[in-house]
Amino acid sequence: MQIDEFTLERIQSLYENLVELNLSDSGVHPYRLNELLNQEQQQELLSIELGYGWTNGSVQLRERIAALYSNRTSDNVIVTNGSAEANFLMVMSLLEKGDELIVIVPNYMQIAGWAKSLGVKVVEIPLLEQDGWLPNFELLEKSISANTKMLTICHPNNPTGSTLPLEQIQELVNFAKRHDIYIHADEVYKGAEFDGNELPSFADEYEKAIITCGLSKAMAMPGLRLGWLVGLPDDIYKTWQCKDYTSITTSAVSEYVANIVLEPTFRHQVLTRSKEFLIDNLNRISEWVDGNSWASFVPPKAGGMAFIRYDLPVNSTELAHEFRQELSVLILPGDVYGLDGYFRVGIGAPSDHLEKGLERISHYVKHKYGV
């Protein structure tokens, strides 16, 4: 099997633990277990049985997850190892050679990689900065063919932090209904909208939506490796069959914690903390952009990152390596999204790291590029 390098993840895997200031993450700085569990729960955790459990996720946890959506039950849910596995199972179960997949780009870039390796034809619809990183519906309409099976979107968007206005969510749903195609939405940043209004899930707007979500990003618990898919029961069953061939099940420890943190009041508290943290850092990076004439951005509306356009005579991958080698600061180059001239900065990093990293970057650019 041929599969493209997943450059976005490769750069992070290679370097994120080697730099002093890692600004490449897209989620909120993670919790510690003892910040989430009280004494009683910590004791209970020590006595749980480390069995396989339900390989599609315990009924209790699937019910908890289903309750986050309207009119969905445990049969609409499978629990996965991170949302990365959710995306993988979704592609492997619902797409096949000869299908066409409309991919709204940029995005996390995982889905297209797997789809291409299966022989699926990937049709890209670009989001452009001048459109506020929102889709062009005329282009979308032209991208449909008799073989189009699905459209996939990352919403809120990685890396730009853009979110669709409600009318555009509806327009996208109408488009999918008209052509009877799936909408796959990766919603891992949902719940971290800076205006405080949580966006509707595509699952609540369209029966034939399939949703990826999890605890890694807005919920700030990537180490639990806890994600899920929500979709039609038959499709979810297919992904379960595929899971038999992959990780079999999720960790009993992670499921225990997930049951606690997805309780509605708890979830609300976690998301409130995430938003406060992110908004504070967004203010810091906005000030920084204002003070650096070579940098600009469309401020993100949600999520853990800012996508910065830079006006410097250097390729983004080279620039990222310069920052890493000279400053011990890791950012993600726009190249990993096919968008040279930009770089991504995680605003979920601890504030002092963000400030220090940005300061090093300004200082370096001033001296090296004279701006």
Least distance to ligand PLP, CB of residue 353, Å: 18
The contact pattern for ligand PLP, residues 180-219, with x = CB under 6 A and - = no contact, is ------x-x-------------------------x-x---
Find, among 248, 218, 278, 231, the residue nearest to 52 by Cα.
248
- How far is the C-alpha of 335 from the C-alpha of 65, rounded, in Å? 35
Q: Is 158 in the site for ligand PLP (CB under 6 A)?
A: yes
* Cα–Cα distance measured from residue 218 to residue 267, given in angstroms and rounded to the nearest whole number: 10
100-105 sheet: strands from edge to edge: 77-81, 226-230, 209-214, 182-186, 148-154, 100-105, 121-126
Dmax over Cα atoms in the chain, in whole Å?
61
Considering the complex, what minimum distance in angstroms separates the CB of residue 9 from ligand PLP?
8
What letter does residue 325 receive in the DSSP assignment? Answer: I
Q: For residue 84, state whether it binds ligand PLP (rule: CB under 6 A).
A: yes
Q: Does 22 bind ligand PLP (CB under 6 A)?
A: no
- Position among 21, 102, 127, 154 found at the interface with ligand PLP (CB under 6 A): 154
Query: Omega before 106 cis (within 30°)?
Result: yes
Tell whether residue 278 is a contact of ligand PLP (CB under 6 A).
Answer: no
Residue 152 interacts with ligand PLP (CB under 6 A): yes or no? no
**By CB under 6 A, residue 89 contacts ligand PLP:** no
Question: From residue 96 to residue 125, what is the string marking binding to ligand PLP with x (rule CB under 6 A)?
Answer: ------------x-----------------
Shortest CA distance to 121 belongs to which of 138, 135, 133, 103?
103
**Alpha carbons 263 and 109: distance in angstroms, whole number:** 31
**CB of 57 or CB of 222, closer to ligand PLP:** 222
The one among 19, 21, 23, 26 contacting ligand PLP by CB under 6 A: 26
Q: What is the DSSP letter of 1?
A: -
**Given the rule CB under 6 A, which residues bind ligand PLP?**
26, 82-84, 108, 154, 158, 186, 188, 214, 216, 222, 227
